Amino acid sequence: MRFGHIAGDRMLDLVNTVAWRRGGPERTESLRTYADVVEWCLESGLIDEDEAAALNGLADRDGPAAEREREQVVAAREDVYGVLFENDSEAAAGLARLYRSAVAAADLVPSDGRWRWQERETDLRLPRHRIVRGLVALTQRDDLDRLHQCEDATCGWVYLDTSPRRNRRWCDTKDCGDRNRARAYYARQKEKQKEKEKQQKR
């Protein structure tokens, strides 16, 4: 898979489509094209292969409209980050506005003993609408007290901490975890060397 799926909720995985969120100039956008949005939705189970092919075909025929949709998906992603991590009321209003549009474009239909949203038509808005409904559902989870952000200084990836002690510090222990443990080790070694040099001068 191309995108990260480590957060414990696919909508949090969407938040993580920014690399080095806290990294200033190192910050990297993963959803650079509408095709990226479609690919993320496909990996995350929001659309199927037939829908992906149809959406990419529509995007090929109307590039400017596809780009506007990509921008709105990114805006929704940033809104939910603002809601969950910054308690931003303007972000909440923006997400609610997108949600009203997403609900208006679909019907509730029965499916395997449950109810689900079904779009009335397949158009370029479909990924945004499904994403926004998922983002609002995310804000209403009962376990948001487990929501955590990677403690790396520049990473910024988010996840649900389901560890028994709720002490997970890194998005990925083999990535940010190893890097920060190595950094801490070298810092300790450097401090020990400085202290040794001071004692030698006495």
101-157 per-position pLDDT tens digit: 999 999 999 999 999 999 999 999 999 999 999 999 999 999 999 999 999 989 999
Q: Considering the entire predicted model, what is its pTM?
A: 0.87
45-89 per-position pLDDT tens digit: 999 999 999 999 999 999 999 999 999 999 999 999 999 999 999
Q: Give the per-residue SS3 of 60-79.
A: HHCHHHHHHHHHHHHHHHHH
Report yes or no: 19 and 152 within 8 Å, Cβ to Cβ: no
Q: DSSP letter string over 77-92?
A: HHHHHHHHHH--HHHH
Which three-class secondary structure state does DSSP give residue 106? strand
11-25 per-position pLDDT tens digit: 999 999 999 999 888
- Which superfamily is assigned to 10-161 in CATH? Jann2411-like domain (1.10.3300.10)
CA distance 161 to 97: 29
Predicted pLDDT of residue 81 = 98
> What are the domain boundaries of the chain?
10-161
